[in-house]
Amino acid sequence: MEKNINLTLKVWRQKSPREKGSFETHQVKNISTESSFLEMLDILNEQLINEGKEPVAFDHDCREGICGMCSLYINGRPHGPDDDITTCQLHMRKFKNGETITIEPWRSAAFPVIKDLMVNRNAFDQIIAAGGYVSVNTGGIPDGNAIPVSKDKADEAMDSASCIGCGACVAACKNGSAMLFVSAKISHLALLPQGKVEAARRARNMVAKMDELGFGNCTNTGACEAECPKGVSISNIARLNREFLAAKFQE
């Protein structure tokens, strides 16, 4: 494997949500195959600054695959050509010398572009605010075994809770559906005793907010599960449908 590669980058540039965007082409040379994709973008931005040009705006935070901020659509795939990773975990060894890489923001009406490769994912925050929580009496520290939870349910709940809300599921879906995200959040709480009291209201409110914000319908193509960096299962969508139907009967 070559240690350094030269690349052509086609990068989406858009000054603001209201302005029309377009692709810009840039060349980067001698990129180490051991560097991450975001490090490569850092090198591109240093190059642009040295040329007196505006750097490319992109989101990032922890760079450890935890926060999901690094939401980039790379060569037609959310987070790029690797499985079970976020963009910050993507390394340049996945690309070949002389390759052209197309870099875009998430494409969804519910995620409007802020600038260049940054999108506004506040829609996910609004869905969580609509019902992704439990109400508890605060006070002293409760005993860890006060509410028994079976191991199989605890494991399922933890698997659902692994969703980091990056939005790759929405970007991968041809309909721009947020069903995998919403179902993961609803499943996490529906599986635990602490979430049972508000289960019906949670399902109604979160689905209603998802629809209100303009996310598309789910047609079960499975693209969301395939591109989820945390491997969240579409079995959660089946649970969401059951929770939502049960909630409708309680109205």
pLDDT at 1: 61
pLDDT at 140: 79
Residues 6+ apart with CB under 8 A from 19: none
Q: Which CATH class is domain 121-249?
A: mainly alpha
Percent of the chain with pLDDT over 70: 98
CATH superfamily of 4-114: Beta-grasp domain (3.10.20.30)
- Which residue ranges does the chain devote to CATH 3.10.20.30? 4-114
R_g (Cα) of the chain, nearest Å: 20
Angle at 188 between CA 200 and CA 201, to 5 degrees: 15
The SS3 of residue 114 is strand
pLDDT at 249: 84
Stronger pLDDT, 178 or 148, i.e. the higher one: 178
**Torsion-angle region of 249 (φ positive above 0: left; ψ -120 to 50: alpha; else: beta):** alpha
pLDDT in tens, 160-175: 999 999 999 999 999 9
AA letter at 138: T
Check if the beta carbon of residue 229 is closer than 8 Å to that of residue 65. yes
pLDDT in tens, 229-244: 999 999 999 999 999 9
**Torsion-angle region of 50 (φ positive above 0: left; ψ -120 to 50: alpha; else: beta):** alpha
- Which residue ranges does the chain devote to CATH 1.10.1060.10? 121-249
Model confidence at 251: pLDDT above 70: no
Check if the beta carbon of residue 70 is closer than 8 Å to that of residue 60. yes
The Cα–Cα gap between 11 and 9 comes to 6
pLDDT in tens, 67-95: 999 999 999 999 999 999 999 999 999 99
Q: Which residue has the tokens 């490090």?
A: 39
pLDDT in tens, 19-40: 999 999 999 999 999 999 999 9
